[in-house]
Amino acid sequence: MIQATGLTSNPRRGFPPAVDDVSLEARAGHVTALLGGADAGTSVVLRLMLELQPGRGITYFRGRPLRRIAHPAREVGVLLGEVPGHPGRTVRGQLRMLCAAAGVPVSRADEVLEVVGLVSLRDQRLGTLSRGMDRRLGLACALLADPHTLVLDSPADGLSAREGHWMYGMLRAHAEQGGAVLFTTSDAKAAARAADHVVTIEHGKVVADQGVGEFARTRLRPRVAVRSPHAARLGALLTKEARVGRRSVEVVREDGNRLSVYGSNCAEVGETAFKHGVLIHQLADEIGDSGPPEPAEVSTGGATAADSVPGDAVSGDETGTVTARTGAGTAGPHTLSDTSNTSNTSDTSDTSNTSNTSNTSNTSDSSNTSDEVGGKAAARCGVIRVGKMLSGSTGAYRTELSPLPPPITVRPARSPLRPLRYELRRAAGLSTGYLTTLLVLAVSAVLALYLARVGHTPLPRLLAAWPYELPLAPAAMGAGLLGALSFGDEFRHPALAADRGTVPRRLGLLAAKLVVCSGTALLLALATVVGDGLTLHVVYGEEVTQLPPDWLEMAASWGALTVACSWAGLLAAGVFRSTTAGLAALLAVPIVVVPLVEKLMEGPSARSAAGLPSRLRDVMLVQWPAKGDHFVASAVRMIAQPVGSALLLSLTALLCAYLLTSLRSRAR
């Protein structure tokens, strides 16, 4: 269960806090709705609960705060806004990447895709998904690690009626299996249909904490939705008859040709229309919200309902009815029968098609006709089974939705290689790395041909395609860009947002990124040298590409340069939370830091480091062979170069900054 106490957001300058002392409870086996408008602060409440926003208060998930849970994804499944994934990644690739992060088998991705009905779209890019498909994928991401608790922010917002019924049915099924569900909504009718408990928030404070039965009695009222080209005349007739019969009837004139009639039923409205020859296009029972209304023309008959406030209008293409009956009205030779507005929506479209039927019948209002119409509407939606009256409610209905498929057993793969698997799937799932590599190889080949044609370029710079005019070789800049992207993408598309902050600053994730960036940089360096060598060999012959005797030392220096550039881009992006900042920090090394190092190293030296390898061998506990002194001396010479010294200083500073930000985030 979820227990939130005293949640308060940090106040903004000149404004009160968006959320002030909110406490609530979401029990296991129940669906809890957090009801509030756009300025109520429901989304802020969820972010405070998940520790994604600074503030005060504490939230326990089955008795533990989120920061004390080793693997939050296995405890809490989260859906906040759109799916936080790179638009170029495929649906299946996104889920497989999250499987690696959560430590569950990759086969789980295909299983949840089948549960949410996205098997046929598994190879589609995230950027091309419709709103309904994005919501389905978001729910799949939340269910991936088989969590006990689901926390969702407006999961049905923007969905068609059919998609909304499906979404709430999945939440109900999760609760019936023993899980806890908490979702936000601004629709009181949706809260009454889908939830067992409703917490109402206004202006950042809890104003009501009710069971759904009490909520329906105090907030929702039954009404009759009427569509007629003579809506004004029909409204006047209904008001007059109610006044004559001394009945409390409230008629609300909605936009266009619609009426909402409170305190009556389909039979009475249909009989009035029949007697006075008023043409009716729609007649259906609905559940109206008695919350703050939109401006509307209201007329009452008989006893006035001073405390009754008309509900929001239900659009014609929205399935506002939970249960429907057939009423009839006629004007002269025209006799009408109408069914509830049930949307007929395909799985890949968010647009609902509403059909109202009109045929010849006598004026009647029978339960048999009601059951028949409700059954047809249920068959069309594909998810509604039975409309059941809420216990103790005044005409409020809710639906039982089809359950989830059998639960999937998840065996967490406990392994220190989990962050490495995640990073490999993250890097391999996008075309950016491949395109960058191809661009680097093409630019390097062209530069190598140009340098060979001009002449007077040493062989190491020729094979690396590194002119003196450029601060870094194309391969080194490409490696730095890939390193910056590996952390920059985490902030632009935070796939791990639910796992402790926007990007979890764990050393395991950093180590995995360093390893993958190292391998990528070495492969890029090797591919560049081999590609440039082959190009020069084909165009100019063997004399240009003959390897020198110290080629091994040169290869080590070239590999170390590309790896260092990759690490510099990675750490800078992680510290400054931006790919652009990471690449800028990399370019600042040869442009700014190298001249400073050269200035410090100018002038004669009073001391010499000659013999350093042998002294290191004497100090070290593990003695290396005598030939190892040559490699140690080569490493010392690389570090002694201005570029090597500048990169070493930059990497040290960036690593310290990253560790400080990591410790600060953990302290919070």
Taking the chain (668 residues) in consecutive chunks of 10 residues, what is each chunk's mean pLDDT? Answer: 92 85 94 91 92 90 87 87 87 92 86 90 92 91 90 90 90 92 92 92 91 84 88 90 87 84 88 92 80 42 36 34 32 32 36 35 34 32 33 38 49 67 90 94 94 85 88 92 89 69 67 93 94 90 75 86 93 89 88 81 62 64 61 66 83 88 62
* Whole-number pLDDT of residue 569: 93
Domain boundary among 165, 181, 216: 216
Q: Which residue do the tokens 């019924």 mark?
A: 165
Is residue 89 in some structural domain? Answer: yes
pTM comes to: 0.70
Q: What is the DSSP letter of 593?
A: I
Please tell me whether residues 379 and 507 are part of one structural domain. no
Distance of CA 163 to the CA centre of its chain: 18
* Whole-number pLDDT of residue 529: 92
Residue 547 corresponds to which amino acid?
L
Please tell me whether residues 133 and 206 are part of one structural domain. yes
- 210 is written with which tokens? 């009710």
Distance of CA 307 to the CA centre of its chain: 41
Please tell me whether residues 162 and 192 are part of one structural domain. yes
- 131 is written with which tokens? 């709103």
Is residue 657 in some structural domain? Answer: yes
* Whole-number pLDDT of residue 9: 92
Is residue 409 in some structural domain? Answer: no
Please tell me whether residues 68 and 104 are part of one structural domain. yes
Neighbour count for residue 53 (Cβ, 10 Å): 18
The number of folded domains in the chain is 3
What DSSP string runs through 610-655? TTHHHHHHHHSSSPPPTTHHHHHHHHHHHHHSHHHHHHHHHHHHHH
Domain boundary among 181, 216, 251: 216
Q: Which helix (H) or strand (E) holds 41?
A: none
**628-640 helix and 642-667 helix, angle to the nearest 10 degrees:** 80
Residue 384 corresponds to which amino acid?
I
Q: Which residue do the tokens 């590194």 mark?
A: 466
Q: Which residue do the tokens 């009718």 mark?
A: 189
User: Are 358 and 338 in contact, with CB atoms under 8 Å apart?
Assistant: yes
Is residue 407 in some structural domain? Answer: no
CATH (domain of 155): 3.40.50.300
CA distance 269 to 297: 19
Is residue 376 in some structural domain? Answer: yes
Burial readout 501-535 (b: 16 or more C-beta within 10 A, e: otherwise): bebbbbeebbebbbebbbebbbebbebbbebbbeb
Please tell me whether residues 571 and 445 are part of one structural domain. yes
Sign of CA dihedral 497, 502, 507, 510: positive
Please tell me whether residues 449 and 576 are part of one structural domain. yes
Q: What is the DSSP letter of 344?
A: B
Domain boundary among 369, 401, 433: 401
* Whole-number pLDDT of residue 630: 60
Please tell me whether residues 194 and 329 are part of one structural domain. no
Is residue 35 in some structural domain? Answer: yes
Q: Domain span at residue 100?
A: 2-216
Radius of gyration of the chain (CA): 34
Burial readout 195-218 (b: 16 or more C-beta within 10 A, e: otherwise): bbbbbbbbebebeebbbbbbbbbe
Q: Strand, coil or helix: what is 156?
A: coil
- 313 is written with which tokens? 């209008």
Please tell me whether residues 191 and 267 are part of one structural domain. no
Q: What is the DSSP letter of 592?
A: I
Please tell me whether residues 15 and 151 are part of one structural domain. yes
Please tell me whether residues 19 and 114 are part of one structural domain. yes
Distance of CA 389 to the CA centre of its chain: 35
User: Are 94 and 85 in contact, with CB atoms under 8 Å apart?
Assistant: yes
Is residue 114 in some structural domain? Answer: yes
Please tell me whether residues 379 and 271 are part of one structural domain. yes
Distance of CA 512 to the CA centre of its chain: 23
Is residue 245 in some structural domain? Answer: yes
Please tell me whether residues 93 and 228 are part of one structural domain. no
